[in-house]
Structures are given as structure tokens and as C-alpha cells.
Chains A and B, each alone.
Chain A
């Protein structure tokens, strides 16, 4: 596997971790603002993890 492809997949894995963390924050935080911001962060990282964007 070329090195840059390995980096790309590593990046997607890290984006997936961030997206999952945001779901965790959504269910852990009790303040609506923290929950809302977690949702905002979730969207682009989910797309990057899926390799769509």
C-alpha cells in the first residue's frame, strides 16, 4: 500500500474516532449547547470517515 494511501486511511480512522466521540458527548453532556456543538462537529467528521468528502 502506498504511503499516502496509508495516511489517508489513518486520517479516515481518526475522523471516525472523532465522530464516535461526538456521539458519546451527545449522550454524556447535559447542557444543550454542548450537545448541539457535538452534533455540528459530528456531521463533517462522519462524512470524512465515510470517505465521501
Chain B
């Protein structure tokens, strides 16, 4: 029997069997890849007064993968405008969750909040090749039902923008970067209207910030614990005063968050380009996500949500990290709470500096509550 299977005379039936096997593998794996394109349900909370799409500002993006939802929360009284950007890098989950919790829980009395929960939607449709990331994770909503979210990748999907150049040139400055940064939303601001896929998203988001006269902008990120810019805000020089006040506020609450000035020559990043090209006070925040680092062990839903990893505990003991890391790790709850506390303190600081154009909001889940109770009590069930 064995001889017959491998016998050269039986090559034709063997070809049919192998072709069927190849097609089966292609169809099954193709279905898994296509499943990543299915968007998770996003729920508009009671404070949301308008739901728009990016294509409402730039019609050319309609019916393209670049189009993404925008939630606007407007108070009854006029005031300042805050823009929150989550999902610039989709695997940096605390930014996505902080944007989601804000749009589901916050109600402004004065001023507006404009929220991008998934700034680069293409990045949500794939994960890092060969890194073994889970495609999704689940969290309980406040009624016990399940909410699921995708774990994406920091770059746009190459099926939407290909090929990468050898060297990416930031068009406005001529700064040179590695080629795949052409698919990185946070290296292409302020964007190019008729540029490549990612640069067009950048241009559209910049246009939203200009058109809506955004006063304060926070782009929420995460980085691996061995990265020096962690648990930190990076602020444009015009935003340094309120960022300093916010940092003091955070530290007085026992939430260590450092502050760094946006380097003038580091181009294409949100904290630099929104500050230079719009009236917004632009800030970027970073929390520590062990699921993104090179020391991590098995990369599964437990690591993504729980944020605990024995390798990182060891690395911390060897002083290889830029954040404390013990057996409790850095759970998604704590990281999301830190982002929300940063939003809260930045709004307080902004209001102190701008008494005539305040942003008054209620309902931001506090760091203390989110850390103690988790994000579940603040997640609305899907309708």
C-alpha cells in the first residue's frame, strides 16, 4: 500500500489528493484571514450626539478600508474641543479601550469630544506575521454579556498598501525612515491628500482636526516595557504647560506618568505634526504592554488582557525594563485606567489654562475604579 502511494505510476490520483489538500488549507486559512475584516461592535453611549465617518470629511475615502467611525460628544454649552485618537496602532489596546470607554460613559456639559476608536482600521485586519498574536480577545460587559475586540498590527495591511519602499521619505520634511514606516499612521502626519493609502488617512484626520477646530488632542499608544518612552506623555512645546500640570496631577494621585518634549526633528508623529499644522495642543501617551515586547512568553489572550509574564518579572529583577514589573504585571485594566486618568488630568489642566473655553465632562471612569473593578462595569452591552 505504501509503495503504491509513493509509486510514480500513481502520480495522477496523488495530484488530485494533494490539490484537494492544498485547496482545503487555502480555504480554511483564507477564512481565518477574512474573519479579521469583520468589525467588532462599537456602542455609542448616552453622551454621543453625532456619529460620523471619516468619509464625511473626505468623501474619496467612502467605501474604502480607510473609512473609520468618528463619535462626537457635544455638551449643551459651547467650549473647547478635545480629540481622542485610539487605534493608531491597533495592537496598542489600552488606547483603543480608553477611547471606547470614553465614548460609552462620558457626557460633556460644555465643549466637545471627538473620538476615533479605530484610527487605522486597516491595521485591525491583520496581525504581525510569525508573532503568534491572538486575533481577538473578549471582555465581559456590565450585564455579563461578552464584548470582543480585535488585536491588530501597528501597520496598515499590505493588502491595502503595497509594496513598501526601501526607504520611506516623510514628504514634508524629507526625513528618511525604514520602508515599512510608509504604512505606519504615526509616521505620516500631516499626511498627503493624494498620497498613498496610509498618508491619505493621515491627511483626512488632520483635516478633521482643522475643520473641527480641535483645541486639545491626545493620541493614545502603548509600547513594550523595555522601551524607554513608557508610562509617559510626549507633548508638543505648545502643550508643555498643560502636560506638566497633568503630570503633576497624575503623580499626586499616585499614577506615575513622565513627560517628554516632542523632538522637533522627529517628524510624522502626531505630537509633532498636529502641534505644527493645527491649532491643537498635541500630546501622545504611552503605557506598558508586555504582549508587545521581545521578552514575552506565549502570546495569548491571557497575556493580552492579563498583562502578566514571568519573563518580564525576571527582566525587571535584572533591571532591563523602564517600568516596575512584578507578578501582577500590567493588566489591560490598569493600562486603560492610566490612559483615562491622563485624559482626565489633561482636561483639568486645559481648563485651568483656558477658563474661557472649558471642556466640562462627567463620567470618565477613574483610574482607581478601573484598576479595582476592571473595565467590565464600564462596557455597555451590544444592542
Interface residues of A, Cβ cutoff 8 Å to B: 2, 4, 7-8, 11, 23, 26-27, 29-32, 35-36, 38-40, 42-43, 46-47, 50-53
Contact B19–A26 (Cβ < 8 Å): yes
In the assembled complex, the CB of A25 is this many whole angstroms from the nearest CB of chain B, namely 9
Contact B30–A26 (Cβ < 8 Å): no
Contact B33–A39 (Cβ < 8 Å): no
With both beta carbons as reference points, the residue of chain B lying nearest to A27 in the complex is identified as B15
Contact A4–B11 (Cβ < 8 Å): no
In angstroms, Cα B261 to Cα A15, docked, is: 46
In the assembled complex, the CB of A30 is this many whole angstroms from the nearest CB of chain B, namely 4
Known: A7-B163, A47-B29, A53-B30. A35 touches B196 (CB 8 A): no
Contacts A29-B11, A39-B19 supplied; 19 other A-B pairs, CB < 8 Å? A8-B163, A23-B19, A26-B18, A30-B8, A31-B8, A32-B14, A35-B15, A39-B18, A39-B22, A42-B19, A43-B22, A43-B26, A43-B29, A46-B22, A46-B26, A47-B29, A47-B30, A52-B159, A53-B30
In angstroms, Cα B196 to Cα A23, docked, is: 35
Contact B19–A11 (Cβ < 8 Å): no
Contact B26–A42 (Cβ < 8 Å): yes
Known: A39-B19, A46-B26. A4 touches B162 (CB 8 A): yes
| Majority secondary structure, B binding face | helix
In the assembled complex, the CB of B132 is this many whole angstroms from the nearest CB of chain A, namely 16
In angstroms, Cα B162 to Cα A7, docked, is: 8
Contact B30–A50 (Cβ < 8 Å): yes
Interface residues of B, Cβ cutoff 8 Å to A: 5-6, 8-9, 11-12, 14-15, 18-19, 21-23, 25-26, 29-30, 33-34, 159, 161-163, 196-197
Contact A52–B162 (Cβ < 8 Å): no
In angstroms, Cα B163 to Cα A32, docked, is: 35
In angstroms, Cα B15 to Cα A26, docked, is: 5
In angstroms, Cα B15 to Cα A29, docked, is: 9
| Across-interface contacts of A29 in B (CB, < 8 A) | 11
Q: Can you list 12 contacts pairing A with B, beta carbon distance less than 8 Å? A: A4-B162, A8-B159, A8-B162, A26-B19, A30-B9, A31-B11, A32-B5, A32-B11, A39-B18, A39-B21, A46-B22, A47-B26
Tell me which of A4, A7, A29, A40 has the highest count of chain B C-beta atoms within 10 A of its own C-beta: A4
In the assembled complex, the CB of B295 is this many whole angstroms from the nearest CB of chain A, namely 28
| Across-interface contacts of B159 in A (CB, < 8 A) | 8, 51-53
Contact B33–A52 (Cβ < 8 Å): yes
| Across-interface contacts of B163 in A (CB, < 8 A) | 4, 7-8, 11
With both beta carbons as reference points, the residue of chain B lying nearest to A38 in the complex is identified as B18
Contact B30–A52 (Cβ < 8 Å): yes
Contact A4–B196 (Cβ < 8 Å): yes
In angstroms, Cα B197 to Cα A8, docked, is: 12
In angstroms, Cα B197 to Cα A41, docked, is: 29
With both beta carbons as reference points, the residue of chain B lying nearest to A41 in the complex is identified as B22
In angstroms, Cα B14 to Cα A38, docked, is: 12
In the assembled complex, the CB of A3 is this many whole angstroms from the nearest CB of chain B, namely 9
| Across-interface contacts of B6 in A (CB, < 8 A) | 32
Contact A27–B22 (Cβ < 8 Å): no
User: Which of the residues B18, B30, B161 comes within 8 Å of A36, measured between beta carbons?
Assistant: B18
In the assembled complex, the CB of B20 is this many whole angstroms from the nearest CB of chain A, namely 10
In the assembled complex, the CB of A23 is this many whole angstroms from the nearest CB of chain B, namely 6
| Across-interface contacts of A52 in B (CB, < 8 A) | 30, 33-34, 159
| Across-interface contacts of A4 in B (CB, < 8 A) | 161-163, 196-197
Contact A47–B19 (Cβ < 8 Å): no
In angstroms, Cα B34 to Cα A6, docked, is: 23
In angstroms, Cα B18 to Cα A32, docked, is: 10
- Top 3 A-B pairs, shortest CB-CB distance: A30-B8, A39-B22, A30-B11
In the assembled complex, the CB of B35 is this many whole angstroms from the nearest CB of chain A, namely 11
In the assembled complex, the CB of B119 is this many whole angstroms from the nearest CB of chain A, namely 21
In angstroms, Cα B34 to Cα A23, docked, is: 24
| Across-interface contacts of B12 in A (CB, < 8 A) | 27
